[in-house]
Copies of this chain bind each other. A is one copy, B any other.
Amino acid sequence: MFSPKDAEQETRALEQVLAAYSYYKSFAQQEYYLPRYKKWRSLSDHQKELIPWYGDYLEKLRNAIDCNAAFLQEVVFFAQAMMGISSNVDQWPTPSRVDMEKTVSMISQIYREWSQESKCERGLATDRILQALQAYEKQSVTSRDEIRILIPGAGTGRLMADLVIQGYNCESNEFSYHMLLMSMYILNGGLKVNQKKIYPFIHTFSHWRSRNDQLKSICIPDFNVQEQLAQNNRMAMSSGSFIDCYGSNEKIRASNTYSASPTMKLTRAQMESAFNVVITNFFIDTASNIIDYLHSISHVLIPGGIWINFGPLLYHFECDDQVEDTFEVDPFTGEKTDVHEDVPLKGLELTADEILEVSISKLQFKCLNKEFAIPSGYGRSPSQNAVPGYMCNYWVLQNDKVRQT
Contacts and interface: CB of A to CB of B under 8 A. Distances in A.
Given A36-B347, A326-B42, A210 B353 contact: yes
Interface string A354-383: 100010001100000000110000000000
A47 interface: yes
A391 interface: yes
B388 A391 contact: yes
Contacts of A340: 41-42
Interface stretch (A188-196, A201-209, A261-269): A201-209
Contact of A314 (B43, B206, B363, B393): B206
A137 interface: no
Given A51-B358, A358-B51, A388-B388, A206 B285 contact: yes
Nearest to A358: B50
Interface in A249-302: 251, 253, 285, 289, 291
Nearest to A328: B44
A354 B207 contact: no
Contact of A209 (B206, B326, B351, B363): B351
A390 B388 contact: yes
A208 B347 contact: no
A177 interface: no
Contacts of A393: 209
**Residue with the highest number of chain B CB atoms closer than 10 Å, among A251, A343, A388:** A388
Contacts of A291: 43, 47, 50-51
A347 B315 contact: no
A42 B342 CA distance: 10
27 contacts: A35-B347, A39-B344, A39-B346, A39-B347, A42-B253, A42-B326, A43-B289, A43-B348, A44-B253, A44-B328, A51-B350, A51-B354, A205-B315, A205-B318, A206-B285, A206-B314, A208-B349, A208-B352, A209-B351, A209-B373, A209-B393, A210-B353, A211-B354, A385-B391, A388-B389, A388-B391, A389-B389
